[in-house]
Structure 1
Amino acid sequence: MITDDSRCPCGLGEPYGVCCGRFHRGAATAPTAELLMRSRFSAFAVGDTAYLTKTWHPKTRPADLELDPGQRWTFLEILGKTGGGLLENEGTVEFRAHYRQDRRADSMHENSAFVRVDGQWIYVAPVG
């Protein structure tokens, strides 16, 4: 169970409440594509499907989002990024997300596209 005082799953080392928790609660929006990626990883880790849906482009998001209760997201590695900064409107973030499922460690690798819509970053889809 992750509390506001727990270390945030995103990997930045801050307490969840002042890191990704503020984005999940709607107290702030992620100012860069990388921070949105990190907050989305944390949303998977804490099971926040409402945040995942809200930050997913309407043209690519699934109609119904169910998380696998047997999958536990453990840590995130950011491998690279292009664009996605404070003054940009598009960007990509390449990452490796580690998880445990059925007592087995595994990971997924993706290079994700992000766009800014109405001043807020949203996830579009994997690229390449």
Structure 2
Amino acid sequence: MHRRAFLVIALAGAATHARADADSVSLDEARAAVESGRALLIDIREPNEHATGVAAGAMLLPMSQLARRIAEIPASADQPVLLICNTQNRSSRTLKALRERGYGHVRFVNGGMSEWAKRGWPMVKPPG
């Protein structure tokens, strides 16, 4: 492989990796940010999933209600927002949709609530 071609491939891979990092946070980072008040955690799972327990302080905004409740998501970049679902599949897709609407300060949580529960981290019953 030519040196120049290798460099282009390496840079493209680094850019993809950097983009992925800009889109997500680890479960540990998310918990620390939420518990310290530095970020808002939005649980986009559906109500039947919320019934199994949610992270304390999480805002419950089911993905199925997102279109009509999008105004509830802080639009200011001063308020970091973290999306969490069960595994990260829905939250990563939701992130893409929000980014298309200008929400550059939103990221998704790797591992999701299934990993949160596996770690034995605190969960509460949702209000209601």
Task: Calculate the TM-score normalised by the size of structure 2.
Answer: 0.29
- Higher RCO structure, 1 or 2 (CA under 8 Å, sep 6+): 2
Q: Which has the higher helix share?
A: 2
Structure 1 length-normalised TM? 0.29
